[in-house]
Structure 1
């Protein structure tokens, strides 16, 4: 039988598997869904961004809820809400219904992922964090491996509605295992819920992501879109002022004073903006640009997750040998290079070449994700861990949503610039170039890290014998 420290991450990963499977299956099936309900594939990206938007809005409350009511209860409720949204999505008849169903799924995902990660981070020592995160993510990566070919197979030979209904048996298994084995970890119960901060951050994030999504599409008039964006900016400024005065803000901005956490949030967000567009762009390129079926497309894109899985066993020794700073700097360019490579794909590109490039791209991308996540929590104490997981999760989901929006906006701009009404392979060239450049910009942020950043987690022995105290760094930089 597996030891407890391995069993808990695997159970949490059952929920992550369900979420990752759902997202990757949906990305592969978007063109078929759009055709069935009479919508533009680019417009249907709202089904992706609405989910990410819902995550960004509700994730801030997840840490407080886990502390107040217990991680096990909130984790089970989250799975149940996600399953409910999946049922509604499978019954949808229009874009609006799919979007609303995805919002419900996002409410479940907003509690499910950060609370699961919180359980893990509170039950393992920092020296075992990288290995435990690997245990957590290996099963979760099965979703992206299975998702594209499964989504393509279901869409091509059955019906796209089943891509949502397959979440139900997975969710039932997750509920059972969580009830039996997840520890009921609780935090401080006397902390008052920051209702004002929740409203300000929720409306602000929702407006910014919604406005960014609407740009380049004909769903809203431009003045309305600008008003939504402006509202979001004003609300987030108001939240920053509120957070500076509140005793327990729902998103603790003071965490950004910690150099390693700040690097993980800012640099990780830049990286995710670029990489987050790939699951949206690649299926469209293969199906609309190259004329492949959904199943053929899925049989190409799934290899990215295979590359990610092969990396997990290598993450800990790589970080131990080279340290966080070196890995993040070098790998920022390597990962961005593979994000850029699909810009050169043509209908005549051998599938073996495509598979090889996506395989290596998945490896380096996953190494960057694992390194950023581990670095972000390396200097966080247990009392602030729930705030840190909420903050990090919000940054991740907002950046992924922005990445999808940037990819779609570039496609739309390229199509309009040449006076076309339908997408062509050349439109995707510019989209991949733009997102790769954005992803590479993360290098600038990681450059400021000290050589021995996160040494307690990575085990890297730098030339400096003593790692800097994060509290001292906070005082020096404040």
Structure 2
């Protein structure tokens, strides 16, 4: 039983993990060109630093809840902070790109456990209105982290070096270890067996497919080897699908797809997020390599994107009942893809205030897209399916982000060729990414009228 002080402190402990993960997801993007120059690499090869982290998080999300139930929330949360902190230190001292990628995998193992385990502890302790207040507090760092991340990353690169993008995590991690070791509740839950076979098949498919796409983007493997890994990944995913159809307790039950809104929402999320996931990687590079901005100015320029997203979240609950899911998702998907393609018209002659307005509008429509897609995906699942459906949605979100970055890097490599200037390369890449995102409207068009009732039973909004 927790003391009143420990109950008040628990949301703060969970928020620390959320902040560390949210900050790390955005602080790195602005520093990529400086990191590439320091390591003697092309900026077009640096996407592996982001993909390694995102893909590791995606792989471990399904196991996070089981690990916390089996070994206790305190142990797993402390392990998460320790691995994240050690991974940050390893990233800061990495002398080459391969070692930096390996360190990011270690950091990603910790990051994959931080948010789910902290949120699980809050869910176990609080109920009713207390739970609503606690969860609202915990999610605030998820908004603050992306707000300050790009600007902080750019500023650190200029006043110090890119290494401080990772070193900044060390004092927060050490403080978290000391406080969580004393006050984090150690909660256990009776667990059934974990589907290790399904986990292995599913993870193998994700890793191989992502490595195949990344190999084609970086040209670190031959085209033949990259295609072979991509096909092997798809084969492993097909193997999981066949296995899950017969398994008693599969990692992700295929019965989830009996809900047409879930099936459409998951597929729509996957394809729509290919473009949206590429933008946080693509835009800081565009601002620095294409428009010649300094890292700090590029980071500050990204702030309106986050502000637009935050403001839109206050309007989502009004827009969905007014327009319905089908209209919002088809219309907003096309509009958002058009806005991505519209970056092709941005050059050094565009007034700075107009660029800020464009980024703010993009952030607003991007946030509306995420909130509508996620709520549609989860709204018709029963209580017994909610956990599995939410976990699969989280995996798809991370997977789509890593695939989007890999595709964007492949397009940059393809279009840049022997050109001396970067601006035309980014322009045509934005057009391709925007058109790719628009294709998701074909999936959302499959929603029937009876599936578009704007009465969500579960809030699946995402930061």
TM-score range, shorter chain: 0.7 to 0.9
- Is 2:43 aligned against 1:41? yes
Q: What residue number does 1:112 align with?
A: 114
Q: What residue number does 1:165 align with?
A: 167
| Alignment check: 8 A CA contact 2:271 2:439 kept | yes
- Is 2:456 aligned against 1:439? no
CA–CA distance in 2 between the matches of 1:209 and 1:318? 36
Q: What residue number does 1:196 align with?
A: 197
Q: What residue number does 1:23 align with?
A: 25
CA–CA distance in 1 between the matches of 2:78 and 2:103? 19
- Is 2:342 aligned against 1:341? yes
Q: What residue number does 1:55 align with?
A: 57
Aligned match of 2:148 in 143, 146, 149? Answer: 146
CA–CA distance in 2 between the matches of 1:185 and 1:318? 39
- Is 2:232 aligned against 1:231? yes
Deviation of the 1:232 alpha carbon:
1.0
- Once structures 1 and 2 are overlaid, which stretch shifts more, 378-387 or 236-245? 378-387
| Alignment check: 8 A CA contact 1:56 1:394 kept | yes
Residue 78 to residue 42, structure 1, CA distance change in 2 (3 Å): same
| Alignment check: 8 A CA contact 1:286 1:292 kept | yes
Q: RMSD value over aligned CA atoms?
A: 3.1
Q: What residue number does 1:316 align with?
A: 317
- Is 2:254 aligned against 1:256? no
Residue 455 to residue 229, structure 1, CA distance change in 2 (3 Å): closer
- Residue deviations 1:70-91, cap 9 Å, x none? 4554344323322221111111
| Alignment check: 8 A CA contact 1:274 1:438 kept | yes
| Alignment check: 8 A CA contact 1:81 1:108 kept | yes
- Once structures 1 and 2 are overlaid, which stretch shifts more, 168-177 or 201-210? 168-177
- Once structures 1 and 2 are overlaid, which stretch shifts more, 323-332 or 104-113? 323-332
1:313 alignment partner, SS class: coil
Structure 2: tracts of 5 or more residues without a match:
none
Deviation of the 1:393 alpha carbon:
1.6
How does 1:191-340 map onto structure 2 within 5 Å?
191-340=192-341
Deviation of the 1:115 alpha carbon:
3.9
- Residue deviations 1:391-432, cap 9 Å, x none? 11211111001100111111111112xx43x55101111211
- Once structures 1 and 2 are overlaid, which stretch shifts more, 298-307 or 53-62? 53-62
- Once structures 1 and 2 are overlaid, which stretch shifts more, 13-22 or 86-95? 13-22
Q: TM-score by structure 1 length?
A: 0.85
Q: What residue number does 1:396 align with?
A: 397
Residue 175 to residue 323, structure 1, CA distance change in 2 (3 Å): farther
Aligned match of 1:74 in 70, 73, 76? Answer: 76
Deviation of the 1:220 alpha carbon:
1.1
| Alignment check: 8 A CA contact 1:63 1:390 kept | no
| Alignment check: 8 A CA contact 1:24 1:148 kept | yes
CA–CA distance in 1 between the matches of 2:223 and 2:20? 37
Q: What residue number does 1:96 align with?
A: 98
- Residue deviations 1:315-339, cap 9 Å, x none? 3333344444443333323333332
CA–CA distance in 2 between the matches of 1:350 and 1:113? 39
Residue 435 to residue 120, structure 1, CA distance change in 2 (3 Å): farther
CA–CA distance in 1 between the matches of 2:271 and 2:146? 22
- Once structures 1 and 2 are overlaid, which stretch shifts more, 42-51 or 247-256? 247-256
- Once structures 1 and 2 are overlaid, which stretch shifts more, 438-447 or 233-242? 438-447
1:205 alignment partner, SS class: helix
- Give aligned pairs, total: 453
Structure 1: tracts of 5 or more residues without a match:
459-478
Q: What residue number does 1:468 align with?
A: none
CA–CA distance in 1 between the matches of 2:136 and 2:382? 21
| Alignment check: 8 A CA contact 2:26 2:145 kept | yes
CA–CA distance in 2 between the matches of 1:334 and 1:13? 34
Q: What residue number does 1:360 align with?
A: 361
CA–CA distance in 1 between the matches of 2:136 and 2:333? 20
CA–CA distance in 2 between the matches of 1:455 and 1:426? 43
Q: What residue number does 1:465 align with?
A: none
